[in-house]
Amino acid sequence: MSTVSSSTSTSNVFSAINSANSSSSTTTSSSTDTQDTFLTLLVTQLQNQDPLNPVDNAEMVSQLAQISMVSGIEELNTTLTSLVDSLGDSTAVQAANLIDKTVLVEGNNLTLSSTTTDGTTTSTAYGGVTLASDADTVTVTISDSSGNVVQTLSLGSQSAGDIAFSWDGSTSSGGTSTAGSYTFAVTASSSGTAVTATALEYATVEAVSTSTSGVVLNLSTGDTASLSDVKQII
């Protein structure tokens, strides 16, 4: 009958498991497979141990506790993965409620809309700015689709944070711009020192999709944004 020398311990069982796992890099062992392999090797070792120098009970209990802990961690990871997927689906469903809603996000598009009431036509476009710090001068420069400047708005002194502005479609030459898409740029300063200013655009959410980075909002301007990019919902 073959025998296992007294130098063999349950730590060799884990070495055998690691060796078996590393030999197949394209296959991930499940918690059940790991336990079955461990128990098979342990039973084989017990059957062939040296009766004069058996495996230490304390060491065996310790290794059994370790294999249980590994199994528990794997099951916890599986549960967490399932929970994350569930939360992602829930977030996508909630985001779907934003479809057809107007949101304020980072961007420099400006949509001029016209309405006629009792023969009077009114044009309006809305945009926003985020100031990193207080500014005594904030200027918005509006350009048409060809890049030609049509109007320059002075927003005066503004505090740090998000601010909104509107444009009535008037041009610097005294005319009125036609309804459509425009772009704008923002500059700001305080006592002659430039202040960081970020342009914000109002856009309608047309669709919601998901990606590896999370939920994505598809906007009427052709841009996309994440939920965390939304600064305001109208």
Q: Nearest 5°: phi and psi at 98?
A: -85, -10
Residues 190 and 108 in one domain: yes
Among 87, 119, 146, the domain boundary falls at: 87
Identify the sign of the CA torsion 76, 77, 82, 85: positive
Residues 82 and 111 in one domain: no
pTM over 0.85: no
Q: Identify whether the C-beta of residue 28 lies closer than 8 Å to the C-beta of residue 21.
A: no
How many domains are there within the chain? 2
Alpha carbons 126 and 137: distance in angstroms, whole number: 19
Mean pLDDT, rounded, of the chain: 79
- The residues with which 153 forms a beta bridge, in sequence order, are 140
Residues 117 and 184 in one domain: yes
Q: Identify whether the C-beta of residue 167 lies closer than 8 Å to the C-beta of residue 151.
A: yes
pLDDT band of 47, cuts 50, 70, 90: confident
Residues 62 and 29 in one domain: yes
Its domain, for residue 162, covers 104-203
Higher pLDDT, 175 or 52: 175
Mean pLDDT, range 48-61, rounded to an integer = 65
For residue 156, the model assigns a pLDDT of 94
Residue listed under structure tokens 């040296």: 50
Q: Does the residue 216 lie in any domain?
A: no
Residues 22 and 53 in one domain: yes
Among 87, 120, 144, the domain boundary falls at: 87
Among 87, 112, 141, the domain boundary falls at: 87
Residues 144 and 77 in one domain: no
Q: Is the predicted pLDDT of residue 117 greater than 60, yes or no?
A: yes
Q: Is the predicted pLDDT of residue 208 greater than 80, yes or no?
A: yes
Residues 113 and 198 in one domain: yes
- Dihedral class, residue 210 (left if φ above 0, else alpha if ψ from -120 to 50, else beta): beta
Q: Does the residue 217 lie in any domain?
A: no
Alpha carbons 106 and 108: distance in angstroms, whole number: 7
Residues 83 and 146 in one domain: no
